[in-house]
Amino acid sequence: MTRRTFMSASLGAVAAGCAMPWFDCHGAFRSSRAAALVVLDSRLQASRAYAALAGADVAICLEVDADVGALWHGRLRDWPGPMRGALRPSDCFVLRNLAIADARAFRSITIVAGALGFEIGAV
């Protein structure tokens, strides 16, 4: 994927999100308090802080090494419960596309510059 393609797709996703403010996928999440799989990037301070705050709600913590797509196909896709975490915007973009392609609800929010918090709904 070229940088131009990535930027076009990212801007298109943002424009679609702004154009449909009535779309709300909160109902697709079975329980926001259920034990979740936490995905973190130890290189991001916000991600480490998120994992520390998750505490007792965490079933498993997984570290993103280099390729979040490989992690999705190797471990995350078969997880039946919700997934949460804080990652770089580019990794969240990839997870968003993979989750939506797998018919899962996805939501994200900016935590700090360079880090997005996300949640992927249960199957």
Domain ranges of the chain: 27-120
**Measured distance CA(50)–CA(88) in Å, rounded:** 13
Q: Which value, to the nearest 10 degrees, does the dihedral of the CA atoms of residues 41, 119, 21, 123 take? A: 140
Residues 8-55: tens digit of each pLDDT:
666 655 555 544 443 444 444 444 455 678 898 888 888 888 877 766
Question: Binning pLDDT at 50, 70 and 90, where does residue 7 land?
Answer: low
Residues 50-87: tens digit of each pLDDT:
877 766 566 688 888 888 999 999 989 998 889 989 99
**Measured distance CA(61)–CA(55) in Å, rounded:** 11
**Measured distance CA(65)–CA(40) in Å, rounded:** 9
Query: Mean pLDDT over residues 103-122, rounded?
Result: 91
Instruction: Evaluate the CA torsion angle 107, 111, 116, 118 in order and state its sign.
Output: negative
> How far is CA 74 from its chain centroid?
16
Give pTM, 2 decimals.
Answer: 0.67
